[in-house]
Amino acid sequence: MKIVSSVLQEINGIQIYYIIGLLIFVVLFVYIFIRTYFLTPRAELTSIKNSIFEEDELNNNESTLKK
């Protein structure tokens, strides 16, 4: 790994790629956060939450019946 890091340090302007990668990550994270918490209707989020609980209850009932 030391060979790779020494080669990368010798390349001029390589730091810009680290900065661009970090900016892409942050922008996507903020976009997904805003879309999830501010733009998705609460009724839809509640529906998704309840469907997970209902599926879990169905799985528990099926495992109880098999015993």
pLDDT in tens, 8-57: 788 888 889 999 999 999 999 999 999 988 888 888 888 888 888 787 66
With a cut of 60, say whether residue 65 has pLDDT above it: no
Q: What is the pLDDT of residue 30?
A: 97
Q: What is the pTM of this model?
A: 0.55
Q: Please give the residue that has the higher pLDDT: either 65 or 6.
A: 6
Q: What is the pLDDT of residue 25?
A: 98
Give the closest residue to 45 by CA, choosing from 36, 54, 53.
Answer: 36
Question: What is the maximum span of the chain, computed from C-alpha positions, in angstroms?
Answer: 66
* H/E stretch holding 54: helix 42-66
